[in-house]
Amino acid sequence: GLGFNIVGGTDQQYIYNDSSIYVSRIKKDGAAYLDGRLQEGDKILAVNGKDLKDLRHKDAVELFRNAGYDVSLKIQRRLQPQNGPVGHQSDGESGGLPLAAILVPGLVLAATAVWILLRYRQRM
């Protein structure tokens, strides 16, 4: 085999409303592992020039099984590792909270605590 497992397809969507094929696991010491370029979470767009769009899972598996010895994959790299399904941000939308949404309230809280502490110490 090629040394990796896949998830997804029109009949087994891995990500809601996305029937793409994704790498779920790289098998240690397998071909993909030894090559080093493929990563868990990568979206596979094509195998040997054949588009994987709108395929059932078993049809995608069959394409990989019949890919031959020299295999060419067109992939889309995941943007960041996450727990659960991998998030792809190809339409310009950001996933998760922006860093400022966490830092700004934290800094305001810290500044308020310092101000209260200083005011309290002045009264003593």
Q: What is the mean pLDDT of each successive set of 10 residues along the chain, which is 124 residues long? A: 92 91 93 92 94 94 90 85 52 50 66 75 68
pLDDT of residue 39: 93
CB atoms within 10 A of CB 48: 14
pTM: predicted TM-score of the whole model, two decimal places:
0.62
> Any idea which fold 4-76 has?
Pdz3 Domain (2.30.42)
Apex CA 63: angle with CA 13 and CA 81, to 5°?
45
pLDDT of residue 122: 72
Could you tell me the residue ranges of all domains in the chain? 4-76
